[in-house]
Structure formats: C-alpha cells, structure tokens
Amino acid sequence: MLAKRIVPCLDVREGKVVKGVQFRNHEIVGDIVPLAARYAEEGADELVFYDITASAHDRVIDKSWVSRVAEQIDIPFCVAGGIKTIEQAREKLAFGADKISINSPALTDPSLISRLQDEFGRQCIVIGIDSYYDAATDSYKVKQFTGDEAATKDTQWYAQDWVEEVQKRGCGEIVLNVMNQDGVRGGYDIKQLSMIRAICDVPLIASGGAGTMEHFKEVFEQAKVDAALAASVFHKGIIDIGELKQYLHANHIAIRL
Amino acid sequence: MTQESVSSINANDLTVIIDTGCANLSSVRFAFERLKANVVVSADFDVIRSAARVVLPGVGTAGAAMDALKQKNLIELIKSLTQPVMGVCLGMQMLANLSNEHGGRSEQDITCLGLVPTDIGDLDSKGLPLPHMGWNQIEVSDHPLFSGIENGSYVYFVHSYRAPISEYTLASSTYGESFSAAIGKDNFFGVQFHPEKSAKVGAQILQNFLQMGLNMGTSQ
C-alpha cells in the first residue's frame, strides 16, 4: 500500500535553514546538510528545500548545497525558489534534485509549467501554492512572492481555479500552503484541503499549521492528502519524526517505518 | 555468501552508468559512491564494454530517452552486452519491446530495446492520484537482486506507466492494479522504483547488484 509521506520542509536563506512565523522574522535553525541527513535518518520520507528569498529578490538559489544534499541523503528531495527557466530547472535536476517546485514564476507565466513538463516529464514538476483565507469574501485566494513581506502581493486567482489550471498545464504534484496557518501550529486547514483534494487528481501535499501529532492524523484521515509537510515542529524538536510515524502507524495510517 | 568482497575495491570491478544525457544521472552515481563502488558515467563504447556491470538510468519520456540512445549509437551496443545490466525507472521500461508513452510526439508506440519481452502501458490506478508517487511496498522473487529484501519492504516510486505482471516479473507492487516493480530476462533486468532514493532497502538492492557482477566475474 502506498504510504502517506511525512515531509520536513527546510526554508533556506543564505545557505542556512531558517523558520519564521507567518512567513516573517526568520530565525536560523541550522546548517542544511546535517539537518537533511538527520531527518532522513529519523525516517522522513522526502525533503523540501525552499529558498524563500530567491523569488522575491529575483535571485537564483545557490546551487552548491543541492549536490551536497544529493551526495549524502538517500531519500527524494525537492528544490524550490526562483526557478523561472528550463535551464535553471535542468541545473537543479542535474545536481541531483528529484523534483523542482515552482510557485511565483508560474503565476507570472503559467506556460512555464507546460514547458517544464514537456522537457522533464510531469513527475518532477511540483507547483507550490500559497493560499490564504480571505474572511471578507469568505474565499481562498492565492498570493505571490511570499518569501518577502514587502514584495508579497495578491493575485487574481482563487485557490480552486489555480489548482485546476496548474493540473491542466501538467504539474505532477501540488503543495498547498495555507498562510493563515503557517507557523502558528494550530492544525492544518482541513476544510480547504478537503475541498482542494476533491478537485486534485495529482498527489497533494498539505502544508501550514502542524502543531501536534493529532494534526497529522486528522489531515490524512479527513483531507485524504498524500503527504503532510511541516517545518517548525520538526526543527524545534516539538515532534520527533520517528515517534510521529509510530503514532500514525498505530492509528492505522499507511506509513513506512 | 558473504559480504567480504565488498570492502576490497578491485580496479576491474567497474560499474558503468550509461550517460543517456538525462537530467538526474548524478543521483544514481552518488548512491553507488555511498556504497564505495568504483563507478563512472560514460557513453564510451569501450568503457561500457569493459564494465563488470552496467546501469541504464532514465527519466523523462520513453520517446525522448530512446531518441537519446539512438543519437549516441548506443542501442546495438546495449543489446550486445553480456554482463549484468540494470535499468532504473524509465531505464527499466526501455528494456521492454514497446512503450505507449508518446510524450505528445506522435500517436505511434515507441519501439524500445526489446530485451525483456513485455510492453509498457498506462498504470491503471483505479482513480487514485497519478503519477504513482511515493513509498510503496514490494513483493519480491528469489532473484539475487532482492537477496535479503523482505516482502512488504517500502521503496520509492515515481511513474505513470508500468510493465504488467508477466512471466518476466521479478517483483511486484500494487497501486490500483498490480504491476511489475521489477522485470528481467537473462542478464537484463530493471526496477521501476528508484533504489538510489529508497533509503536502506534501496542501498541493499544496489549492494546486491554490485555482488552480482562480482559473482559473474569469478565464475568466468
């Protein structure tokens, strides 16, 4: 049976892993390669690295750490941040990334998704979506350039419409990050994730809000996502990945132990 | 059967990863390097022929990958190899007769290497999300590639096409339907999953592959 994936996310800035609260006030939590190796050893099923400044500041991520991670860890990993061209994507994959994740550049030019798919196949094209709950209109909307508070802006897209669009254009997986929940550790947005799951035919990764082991159980059971991504609970040692997987297994969720 | 020979690297004990020009060759190379194997990436005929064992990697579409082999004149060379040859992911699919993964290039099925008589088709996930992406369990045969691997072990898959279950199935998995997680015939075999990304289970499978070449070398 296909296992549900536990995916630690390492936000990267200046070659260090950082974590902020609701995308702000980033603090350094450690070096990239040792943290990646530790998570792999503890049982992480996959890793995601986001260069949170790359999109916002029009920079491409420093590539050297990508191959250092690929050399040392034996689980899949995805690299995100400022990839705007086929050549930039090819470079990340050549350095050993299994997948590349596109967020802001896909909103600027949606045709990038289909061009990447034609070149590399949909299996390595992940689309990251930052959505937030807009209480005024009772709807979920997509934001762009979320790596930098000053650069962050609203888009024309409702989350559902953008999810449909990126699938049509050929993405292989979607990471849905709910910004209201990010870093607050109050639980995943089950309501929105369930709604998106119903219209998502590719693997769906939940992101934003994990605070307890119960939150992981809920998001797998209720929103039927394929994977759950979290950062601060792992970086700060609030949840141990090995214990989390034992807990989920004991609750009859398909898990690789 | 001991693992003693692993620690002593023999200069002749060369593992060659065929340089198909596909994007993620380095992941496979790194995995062998973690096992201290003597490994090179090459499209050179003499280097490939001299190998104790050969890896055929691949990502992308079957059509693009076969075009790359054609451009490098590697098709007849690969078919002529007598040492163990292991395809990984799309590399496994290329060992088959045909693939219906057109990649939008044409409506024609893609002619593959024809080394394992089976045809690659769409994975019928029965409504589950595609691609089949993530860690899934395998049921293994007694093929030496799976020595020491227990049924139910998890390995990492990423694919939307599959080899059906057949007499050439060496391991199976289920996602909607049951399909071949590994196929093989004679010295040619392949795995649909990514052993280089499958943690300890994958490392054991790669280690088994390194042993197979050694066994063959000593028996000649």
Report yes or no: A49 and A78 within 8 Å, Cβ to Cβ: yes
For A107, the token pair is 């909103």
Report yes or no: B85 and B187 within 8 Å, Cβ to Cβ: yes
d(CA B52, CA B138): 27
Report yes or no: A255 and A4 within 8 Å, Cβ to Cβ: yes
Inter-chain CB proximity B135 and A74 less than 8 Å: no
pLDDT digits (tens, 9 = 90+) for B52-81: 999 999 877 788 889 889 999 999 999 999
Inter-chain CB proximity A75 and B199 less than 8 Å: yes
Inter-chain CB proximity B104 and A118 less than 8 Å: yes
pLDDT at A26: 65
d(CA A225, CA A216): 10
- Interface of B to A at Cβ within 8 Å reads 23-27, 30-31, 33-34, 59-61, 103-104, 128-137, 154, 156, 158-160, 174-175, 194, 196-200, 202-203
d(CA A139, CA A32): 36
Mutate to test the interface with A, among B135, B136, B151 (most CBs of A within 10 A): B135
pLDDT at B6: 43
- State mean pLDDT over A60-75: 82
- Three-state DSSP class for residue A213: helix
Inter-chain CB proximity B197 and A76 less than 8 Å: yes
pLDDT band at B106 (very low <50, low <70, confident <90, very high): low
d(CA B56, CA B44): 14
Domain chopping of chain A, boundaries: 5-250
Q: Which fold has domain B4-219?
A: Rossmann fold (3.40.50)
**Sign of the torsion angle spanned by Cα atoms B183, B158, B194, B23:** positive
Inter-chain CB proximity A2 and B33 less than 8 Å: no
Bond before B131 cis per omega within 30 degrees: yes
Give yes or no for residue A191 having a pLDDT over 90.
yes
Q: Which residues on B lie below 8 Å from A67 (Cβ)?
A: 26
Mean pLDDT (chain A, rounded)? 89
Chain B: residue nearest A5 by CA? Answer: B134
d(CA A22, CA A165): 26
pLDDT at A197: 97
Q: Which CATH class name applies to A5-250?
A: alpha beta
Report yes or no: A10 and A35 within 8 Å, Cβ to Cβ: yes
pLDDT at B132: 96
pLDDT digits (tens, 9 = 90+) for B123-176: 999 999 999 999 999 999 999 999 999 999 999 999 999 999 999 999 999 999
pLDDT band at A180 (very low <50, low <70, confident <90, very high): confident
For A102, the token pair is 């596109």
Q: Identify the DSSP state of B109.
A: P
pLDDT band at B101 (very low <50, low <70, confident <90, very high): confident
Contacting A residues, span 41-70, partner chain B, CB-CB under 8 Å: 45-46, 67, 70
pLDDT at B2: 41
Which residue would you say has higher pLDDT here, B187 or A91?
B187
